[in-house]
Every structure is written in C-alpha cells, then in structure tokens.
Amino acid sequence: MRGFARRQSVERAIAWLDAQLQPLDPEPVPLRMAARRVLAESITSNVDVPGFDRATMDGYALAAESTEGATSYNRLPLTVIGDSLPGRPFTHHVGAGQAVRIMTGAPMPQGCDAVLPAEWVDSTEATSTLEASRYRARASRVVAVAAVSPGKHVGRRGEDVTQGTTLFPHGRLLRPQDLGVLSSIGVDQVQVYRRPRVRLVVTGNELLPAGSRPHGHCIVDANGPMLAALVERDGGLVDFPSLVLDEHNAILDSLYTDADVVIVSGGSSVGVEDLAPTLLATHGELAVHGIAMRPSSPTGFGRLEHRLVFLLPGNPVSCLCAYDFFSGRAIRALGGLSKAWPYHSIIAKLARKISSPIGRLDYARVRLVDGAVEPIAVGGASILSSTTRADGFVIVPADSEGFAPGSEVEVWLYA
C-alpha cells in the first residue's frame, strides 16, 4: 500500500475540468420532446399572437360610443345583426347602434372596439337564437344597461407575442410553458444541445446487483442506482449494462465505449487492487488523481480518446460528493446546462462547531433543527444513510479551520 504523494486543490482540479467542457453538438427534436432541453439557438417570433383583435368576455361586440350614457335608468337599444364565434368571425361591418353576439376568443368584427358583457345587457327583447341569426341580416333587439369604454374587454393583436420579438435566447432551459409559447408561434421542432451519453462502470468483486439481498461477505450495489439517478437529474443518458469485476481486462473493456462520459465507481485510489487509475494513465490521460477534500480524496479524472473519464471512490458518500463536485458539473455543461450545483442554498446559524484542518476542503452533512444547522458528519465516507438523514451539506473551504457555534453558514439543500 502507498498513499498519494500529493493532492491537488479542488480549485485546480475544477480548472482543468472546465477547460475541457463545451456543449455537445446541437440536434433537432420535436417540440413535444423539448422540455428540460437546452436551446442551441435563439428563437424569434415571425408572427403576432394573437393574430387578430379578440373578445376577452362573452357578450356583445360594438362601437363603445353606442353605449354612451347607458344605465339601468337610461336603457339604450341595440340591434343585434349576427354572431362572432371562435374560428367563425362575423364578416360584415357593424355600425352605430348595432351589435354582434360574441364569445370569448372570437374575432372582433369590423367597426367594433369594445365588448359589452352579457350581464350588462337586457336581452328579454331578443327574438332569435344564435343559430337563427348567424350570418343573417335578420335582426333582434337588446338594450344596454351600462356603458363601456373603447378597448374594454378586447384582447389586442400581438398582446401576447409581437412579431420580431426574441422569445428565448440561446442557452435557455425549456420549461413546459415555453413549449406552449413556441407552439403558439408555429414552431414544431427546436435545435437543442445533445444530451451526453454516460456509461456507468461500477466495480467490485464483493458487489451484488441492485435488488439483491445481501448475504455472507457480499454487499448490494448502492452507487449504481444513485449515480444513474444523479446523471438523469443532470440531463445525461445513462448506460449501465452490469457490474464489472475488479479485473484488468474487464475494466479496460468497459472504458472503451461510444459514450461521451465514463464514470467508474470503485478502485480509484492507489492500492494494488485499484486498477482504474493505472489503466487510464496507460491508455489515455490521468490529469487529476488525489484531491485535497474529505470525503472523496481518491477521486481522479482525465480523458480516453474523445471521452471524459471520472474515477470516483467506491465509498458511497465519497462517490456522491465527487460526483457533485466534478462528474455532474461536466454532464450539465456538455448538455448546455449551468455548471453550478442544482441545489438551492440558505443561510442559517450553526448550532455546534464544525472543525476542519487547513489545506483540505470538507463536505459536512447537516440537518436543520428549529432553523439551526446541526452537523451530522464530516467523515464516515461509507455511511450513506448520513446523507438521507441530512437536509443538505456545508462546505468548509481549504483555507478555513471550520466554523464556530453561532456562525452563519451556507447550507446547500439536497431537495
């Protein structure tokens, strides 16, 4: 056994990684499949939405001046000359003292600049049904019992989207409501960055597949399901065919794939059975190996041909921490997402101290109790349940000896 001769700082490790990261090539996808994808182009509307003036209430379309002075004591008669329905406009001109029955969303007829709500009309004098009067000169009479001003209850052309407006910039993470707006301007597909393909290589002769019952000296794989979920959260496409034995050829074969990223879990340190670092150094580039952080110090990464390869520790908490600091950052960036953590943070006071030596970054799991931050663990790299009992984590930077009780700290929340 031998230890690391030296460990790189987290900052230097991230600097090397960031220099490798560019979004993958764009690809077209149908609009219905574009949610949570990142635009590789900006989108400008070439139409107005809506493309016509329309009613925003059921009632009567008319010239507002036809209702001037109308009250319940001064009832003004109106001649109803037709109907305007969604998709079925009234195509004739409406003159003074005339009105057209109209439904919400229907086009405003010529000569009309307002909608008199149905409840502001006494229609007891009406003599025809909608069907009987549709598109006919045959008239009915109603009376206005209130006045409306020009533009009242009218949605103007282009009030939602104006032609020439840039709706979404390059790099936008598309949300469901964004797809609705894109559909409204006639877009049926968009150019988005390709999602990175990620091969998971979980090694260990002692591992049983997820879903197995632990027995004897074997343990069930926890890292595979955890990593798969993290990769999917960050926009990657998971390829996880099976567990891999701690054997030279088995690990080497698993590194050669058409994936954009390979994540190896286990065997990342410097022991005689830690094969992955030697294999990556021999057949590719091991740019970083050994990082001044706890947990996750045996983390490494580099390149093998076109793909990034991450060597994550087998201990589950170390694996989670290393993924969040490095692998997840890369996967998000390759898919066009922000490199930043996908966690919200809050500022809260520390209930008990967190100690840390100078020169090493610490990842402290914490929980929130009555608004105060309670440390759970800094060490314990194999105790994955410490992360499920935690509400989040606090980062102690390498130039700090920790935080005293009562200190305000930034808590990154898992949920």
Q: What is the pLDDT of residues 313-326, one digit of tens each?
A: 998 999 999 999 99
Q: What is the pLDDT of residues 339-387, one digit of tens each?
A: 999 999 999 999 999 999 999 999 999 999 999 999 997 766 556 777 7
User: What confidence tier does 135 reach under pLDDT thresholds 50, 70, 90?
Assistant: very low
DSSP lists the bridge partners of residue 102 as: 59, 84
Rounded average pLDDT over 386-405? 92
Task: Give the CATH fold of the 345-413 domain.
Answer: Beta-clip (2.40.340)
DSSP 141: E
Give the list of residues 6+ apart from residue 99 with CB closer than 8 angstroms, or none: 60, 61, 62, 66, 78, 79, 80, 81, 116, 142
Q: How many CA atoms lie within 13 A of 167 on its CB side?
A: 27
Ordered by start, the domain boundaries in the chain are: 10-25+195-334, 26-50+158-193, 54-155, 345-413
Prediction pTM value:
0.85
Q: Which of 122-136, 143-157, 232-246, 304-318 has the lowest mean pLDDT?
A: 122-136
Q: What is the pLDDT of residues 246-305, one digit of tens each?
A: 999 999 999 999 999 999 999 888 777 789 999 999 999 999 999 999 999 999 999 999
Neighbours of 160 (CB within 10 A): 14
- Report d(CA 42, CA 332) in Å as an integer: 20
User: What confidence tier does 3 reach under pLDDT thresholds 50, 70, 90?
Assistant: low
Of 208, 328, 310, the C-alpha closest to 255 is: 310
| Helix axes of 248-255 and 275-283: crossing angle, nearest 10 degrees | 50
CATH number for 54-155 (one of 3.40.640.10, 3.30.70.250, 2.170.190.11, 3.10.300.10): it is 2.170.190.11
| Residue 290 backbone class (left: φ over 0; alpha: ψ -120 to 50; beta: rest) | left
DSSP 212-258: PPP-TT-EE--HHHHHHHHHHHTTPEEE----B-S-HHHHHHHH-SS
Q: Are strands 121-122 and 345-349 parallel, antiparallel or unpaired?
A: unpaired
Percentage of the chain exceeding pLDDT 70: 93
- Report d(CA 13, CA 327) in Å as an integer: 12
C-alpha 394, offset from chain centre: 24
Homologous superfamily, domain 10-25+195-334 = MoaB/Mog-like domain (3.40.980.10)
Q: What is the pLDDT of residues 4-61, one digit of tens each?
A: 668 999 999 999 999 999 999 999 999 999 999 999 999 999 999 999 999 999 999 9
Class at the top of the CATH hierarchy for domain 26-50+158-193: alpha beta
DSSP three-state, residue 12: helix
DSSP lists the bridge partners of residue 116 as: 60
